[in-house]
Amino acid sequence: MPNFVPICGFEYEFKMCPSGSEALPADTSAEDSSAPAAAHSAAQSQTTLLSKLEALQCHFTWDLDPSRSKLLRLSDMLVDIGTEEGNSWLGHIYNLRGFVQYKLGFTEDAQSFFNKAAEAFRQMRKADDGPWLVVNYGNLAWLHHHLGDQAESEAYLSKVEALMKKYPSPSQDELHAEIYAEKAWTLMKFSTDRELVSDYFQKAIRMQPDMVEWNTSYVMGLASAFDHSDTGLEADILEKMRVAKEQDPENLYLAAYYLGQRAKKGEEVQDEARELARKVLRNPVSTYSGMKAILRVYRNYVSIDEAIDLAEEALEQHPDERYLKRCAALILKWKIIFFSDNRPKQSTVDRAISLHEEVISCYPHSSLVKKIDLANMYAKSNHGQAKAEQMYQELLEIDLEPVEKQLLYNNYAKYLNFDRQDQNKSLKYHMKAAAIPQQSFYRGNSIRVLEKIKNKRRNRMWREIEEFLENLQEP
């Protein structure tokens, strides 16, 4: 049928333009229609590619959308985990570091980490391919898509499809065990739904019960809900941890954590703690070397001074390790804040200030907590009160996320109460922390302080606090 084009209200098979110039015969316009057709085909291809990408199981599809400050803290945390040979989570660490670098805008670093992840999996699993590469290839498919390299993106999509055919999941409604495990491990780092993380780990463990590191991470995830508990773990979780320790005897982080939980239940652990500390000192330095966990055991059940000696010994062995500087600064803070009846020794405060300043320089993008700690160290110094107040005022001017504001307000309130003896202003800042409708340890702590004041009815603000608590917006 001829291709008619309407002009001036009429249809002509051969058209004459108003200017008198002759138009092309209608049937030859079929050659020109190839361009729109090609554009339509390309758009359709893009839509198909995007739908395939969105169906992948990888970091780009797991609803991980943290703020920039969270990404920077996470980046530091992942560096401190360490990359020593034999780390069973090394592939997952590199995958997450790649995603974090991408979100921070460093695409070359992202690709480098994704490539390192693939190599780490090959070395750990002693195989060139396997279902553990599904998430990694998915990440690479997304990365190349964002870089505009659609051919490479499609190539990684094909690799994912090939792996899923070769290593199918148990059913259409379930993921492969390797995917469940990596998804659970990743979501743990973003402090998301604990029940969901637990469910993913349990599914992975049910499918592959021989993967010891999955069970260890699952148990530690359960235990994290009790981090601020005075009575320790519930009996069933403590038993799960005992079994996990037997299955994973080389994991000194787990051993130190379990020791602390046993001590909370009333067991004498001093000798075991000292023996375990020797092993931790020989461990490669990392977040999961067990150092911080054993220092907590020393602080609570051995001796705070022995804890300081242990931290300093570790730092002498590895003077350039920023994580050990962080541990040493932490234990000195504990000594000054919790174990000094009167004003602490100036030499101890000076050492704490020096270490905190070093730590802040080592973690320039994720040092809010250490800046607050440093302000508190200055407040305990014989000549640092003005500096402490100056630091707090500068921190109060910073644009922070809700939970960070709660952290700052809660700590400033304590500083005002204990170091400045200004209880009324302190209570105002506890109210500011509590007023932010987001669940956190710091909000809960401030609410408890306010409830205590309200119940005693001794402070002239008690009625104001009572009204505030009655109208408090819940998260």
pTM of this prediction? 0.85
Is 379 a member of any domain? yes
- C-alpha closest to that of 442 among 470, 462, 400, 412: 412
pLDDT of residue 41: 59
> Are 333 and 391 part of one and the same domain?
yes
Over the chain (475 residues), what is each successive 10-residue block's mean pLDDT?
33 32 40 52 74 97 91 93 80 97 97 97 93 98 97 97 95 95 95 88 97 96 87 92 96 97 96 98 94 97 97 98 97 93 89 98 93 97 95 97 96 96 97 96 97 92 95 88
Task: Assign residue 392 the CATH number of its domain.
Answer: 1.25.40
Torsion of CA 203, 207, 211, 216, to 10 degrees: 20
CB distance 102 to 110 below 8 Å:
yes
Task: Assign residue 182 the CATH number of its domain.
Answer: 1.25.40.10
> Are 114 and 18 part of one and the same domain?
no
pLDDT of residue 34: 54
> Are 394 and 407 part of one and the same domain?
no
> Are 85 and 98 part of one and the same domain?
yes
From the number of C-beta atoms within 10 Å of its C-beta (0-12, 13-18, 19+), residue 293 rates as buried
> Are 388 and 426 part of one and the same domain?
no
**Is residue 147 helix, strand or coil?**
coil
Is 38 a member of any domain? no
Is 255 a member of any domain? no
> Are 162 and 75 part of one and the same domain?
yes
> Are 112 and 198 part of one and the same domain?
no
> Domain containing 2: what range?
1-32
The domain boundary residue, chosen from 367, 398, 429: 398
Cα 433 from Cα 411, distance rounded (Å): 10
Q: Please enumerate, as own/partner, the contacts of 305-312 that have beta carbons within 8 Å and a separation of 24 or more.
A: 305/335, 307/331, 307/334, 308/332, 308/335, 310/277, 310/281
> Are 110 and 123 part of one and the same domain?
yes
Is 234 a member of any domain? yes
> Are 475 and 385 part of one and the same domain?
no
Is 381 a member of any domain? yes
- C-alpha closest to that of 178 among 219, 223, 143, 138: 138
> Are 148 and 234 part of one and the same domain?
no
> Are 25 and 93 part of one and the same domain?
no
Cα 23 from Cα 5, distance rounded (Å): 11
Is 24 a member of any domain? yes
Question: Total structural domains in the chain?
Answer: 5
Is 294 a member of any domain? no
pLDDT of residue 232: 85
